[in-house]
């Protein structure tokens, strides 16, 4: 592999800012990060590759990983997928390149007729989709939990994903796992040195799953405002939150104007196919509970941040799900953290890089430091002051290889 320098750039290393410096890359890894003196302010900023800790590469969608990479997202965390699709995606990375790296839970910890069946089947009842859904786990007992974790370990998963969705926000009632079963899955995950994160979209479900020891939530609830009980539950667990604010705005339809703004941003039209652009401009519109609003999510996040809860960036971008787009939705999420939830641009970028890497135990990425993967994003301008400049993408590297879009 080649060696190269990225000289005279402002560097955000995932934690700290170097006003002007040079990064050296050899054989896919960062070998040095050197501050340099300069009489002029750098015109470009170098960031660690962004990490999207919540995507779904449904049916091994061949556009998911390349499109993510084009937007500076060098790692994605699939949060529920059939294992044969994971094999296909891993092969795509190895054989084709130009892809974001893939982390996975493989099959989520599902139960019969439970989440995410309702949302998947609402988008498609194609025979192929029905066949995939039929392969999902149907957990019932503590022994099922042990067997489920053993199978995931054999598949080389990176974390465990639980589903704790009652249907409250959607005005529905779905089959869901008992708390005893959820605790068994979490305990078995921990026994195998895996973190466990969980889907929940209402306040009660969030409190219940935090109460049995989950390490993080993959959504922020919208049905009610926050209360002290929620803050205390996060702090007791040391749990993190991936709020998926953009997806929640699509759920309530309140995010439509911002979705359209990002989808039609003139800077990224060459990065986003027309069908993906149209898809992003449509809302899921699943929130049917009166009083359900994305403002509840914003206020809860503001209070959790003030209490010291770790926040990580994940988009919930998925192929058939409307209102999101792989890669681009991460930039929308950064915008919402800054403009709605009181984050500084630097705090938002930490949530998409170093904090994501730390919470998910990805020790080889998320920072610009010697010895780590050369996953890098070059931005024209200064997104450390104006988060909107993250879309001024000029180069993206994964393991030291430049994305061909920017060659």
What average pLDDT does this structure show over 381-395?
98
Q: Is the pTM of this model over 0.85?
A: yes
| Over residues 337-343, mean pLDDT | 98
The pLDDT of residue 37 is 82
For residue 370, count other CB atoms closer than 10 A to its CB: 12
Sign of the torsion formed by the C-alpha atoms of 163, 164, 170 and 173: positive
Domains of the chain (ranges; CATH) run: 50-365 (3.20.20.140)
Q: How far is CA 91 from CA 4, 77, 100, 364, in A?
A: 27, 16, 12, 21
Residue 111 carries which DSSP code? -
Compute the mean pLDDT over every residue in the chain, rounded to the nearest whole number.
96
Phi/psi at 66 (5° precision): -65, -40
Going by C-alpha positions, the residue among 139, 22, 114, 57 that lies closest to residue 316 is 57
Average pLDDT over residues 179-196: 98
Query: Helical H runs in 16-139?
Result: 64-70, 83-96, 117-123, 127-134
Q: Is the pLDDT of residue 123 over 90?
A: no
Pairwise CA distance, residues 66 & 327, whole Å? 9
Contact 395, 336 (CB under 8 A): no
User: Do β-strands 3-12 and 44-48 pair in parallel, antiparallel, or remain unpaired?
Assistant: parallel
pLDDT in tens, 5-29: 999 999 999 999 999 999 999 999 9
1 has a pLDDT exceeding 70: no
pLDDT at 319 over 90: no
Both tokens of 336, joined, read 């919402």
Dihedral over Cα of 135, 129, 107, 81: its sign: positive
R_g of the chain, CA atoms, integer Å: 20
Alpha helices in 82-202 (DSSP H): 83-96, 117-123, 127-134, 142-154, 179-191
Q: Are 296 and 251 in contact (CB under 8 A)?
A: no
CB-based contact 218:240 (threshold 8 Å): no
Contact 89, 63 (CB under 8 A): no
Of residues 335, 374, 370, 369, the one with CA closest to residue 352: 335
In the block, residue with structure tokens 């997928």: 81
Q: Within 10 Å of residue 40's Cβ, how many Cβ atoms? A: 7
Q: Is the pLDDT score of 47 beyond 80?
A: yes
CB-hemisphere CA count at 13 Å for 30?
Answer: 26
Dump pLDDT digits (tens) for 213-222: 999 999 999 9
Return the closest-CA partner of residue 396 out of 383, 387, 405.
405
pLDDT recorded at residue 175: 95
Compute CA 191 distance to the chain's CA centroid, rounded to the nearest angstrom: 25
Which residues have a Cβ under 8 Å from the Cβ of 38 and sit 6 or more positions away?
8, 19, 20
What single-letter DSSP state applies at residue 269?
G
**256-289 pLDDT tens trace:** 999 999 999 999 999 999 999 999 999 999 999 9
Q: Of residues 167 and 126, which shows the higher confidence score?
A: 167
């Amino acid at each position: 592999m080649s060696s190269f320098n990225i000289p005279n750039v402002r560097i955000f290393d995932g934690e700290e800012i170097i006003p002007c410096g040079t990064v050296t890359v050899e054989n896919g890894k960062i070998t040095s990060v050197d501050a340099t003196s300069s009489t002029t302010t750098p015109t470009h900023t170098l960031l660690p590759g962004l990490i999207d800790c919540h995507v779904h590469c449904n049916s091994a969608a061949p556009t998911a990983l390349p499109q993510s990479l084009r937007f500076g997202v060098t790692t994605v965390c699939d949060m529920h997928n059939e294992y044969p699709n994971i094999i296909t995606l891993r092969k795509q990375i190895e054989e084709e390149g130009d892809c974001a790296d893939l982390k996975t839970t493989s099959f989520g910890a599902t139960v019969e007729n439970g989440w995410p069946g309702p949302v998947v089947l609402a988008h498609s009842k194609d025979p192929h989709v029905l066949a995939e859904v039929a392969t999902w786990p149907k957990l019932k007992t503590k022994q099922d939990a042990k067997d489920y974790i053993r199978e995931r370990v054999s598949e080389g998963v990176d974390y465990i994903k639980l589903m704790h969705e009652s249907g409250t926000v959607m005005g529905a009632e779905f089959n869901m796992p008992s708390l005893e079963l959820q605790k068994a899955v979490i305990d078995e995950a921990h026994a195998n040195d895996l973190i466990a994160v969980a889907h929940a979209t209402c306040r009660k479900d969030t409190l219940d799953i935090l109460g049995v020891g989950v390490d993080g939530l993959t959504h922020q609830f919208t049905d009610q405002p926050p209360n002290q009980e929620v803050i205390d539950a996060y702090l007791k667990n040391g749990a993190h939150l991936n709020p998926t604010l953009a997806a929640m705005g699509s759920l309530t339809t309140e995010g439509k104007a911002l979705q359209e703004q990002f989808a039609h941003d003139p800077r990224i039209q060459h990065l986003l196919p027309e069908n993906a652009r149209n898809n992003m401009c449509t809302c899921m519109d699943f929130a049917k509970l009166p009083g359900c609003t994305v403002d509840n999510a914003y206020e809860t996040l503001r209070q959790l941040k003030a209490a010291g809860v770790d926040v990580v960036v994940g988009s919930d971008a998925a192929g058939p799900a409307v209102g999101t787009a792989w890669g681009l939705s991460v930039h929308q999420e950064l915008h919402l953290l800054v403009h709605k939830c009181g984050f500084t641009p630097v705090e938002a970028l930490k949530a998409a890089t170093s904090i994501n890497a730390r919470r998910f135990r990805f020790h080889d990425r998320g920072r610009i430091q010697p010895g780590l993967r050369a996953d890098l994003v070059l931005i024209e301008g200064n997104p450390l002051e104006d988060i909107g400049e993250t879309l001024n993408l000029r180069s993206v590297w994964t393991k030291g290889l430049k994305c061909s879009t920017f060659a």
